[in-house]
Amino acid sequence: MTGEREVVAAALIRDGRLLLAQRTRPPELAGLWELPGGKVEPGETPAAAVRRELREELGVEVTAGERIGADVPLHDGLVLRAYRAELVDGTPQALEHAALRWVDARELGEIALVDNDRGWVPELVALLGA
């Protein structure tokens, strides 16, 4: 094992649409869209982190599924990984983001994503069944 710390991002898909969340911070990322998520806490599994982050950020209960796409190396030894997520309970609300959007494959190709998430677009489009 390496000492890298993981950041999880959730691909929450429902009815052929992917949930994107619009960042409010930092200023250089504000207004851009991302897969919701955040840092895995020490001792926490990535799946548990997906569940916790979506509870905190969206107010929903999800299950975390398989990994999708490639690892994205971040600053400070962090690595960003995307996981599929299934909505179990609740309706997503923008508790920590500026807004939420459910996008189809075409909209996903047009929306302004954060750089770190852009490499996942081909896999996400495939999952959306364009």
Look at residues 78, 49, 81 and name the one whose alpha carbon lies nearest to residue 63: 49
Instruction: Please say whether the beta carbons of 8 and 49 come within 8 A.
Output: yes
d(CA 123, CA 70): 10
Q: Which of 80, 85, 103, 108 binds ligand CDP (CB under 6 A)?
A: 80
Contact of 9 with 81, CB cutoff 8 Å = yes
Q: Show the binding pattern over residues 3-42: x = contacts ligand CDP (CB under 6 A), - = does not.
A: ----x-x------------------------xx-xxx---
CB closer to ligand CDP out of 15 and 28? 28
Site residues, ligand CDP (CB under 6 A): 7, 9, 34-35, 37-39, 74, 80, 114, 116-117
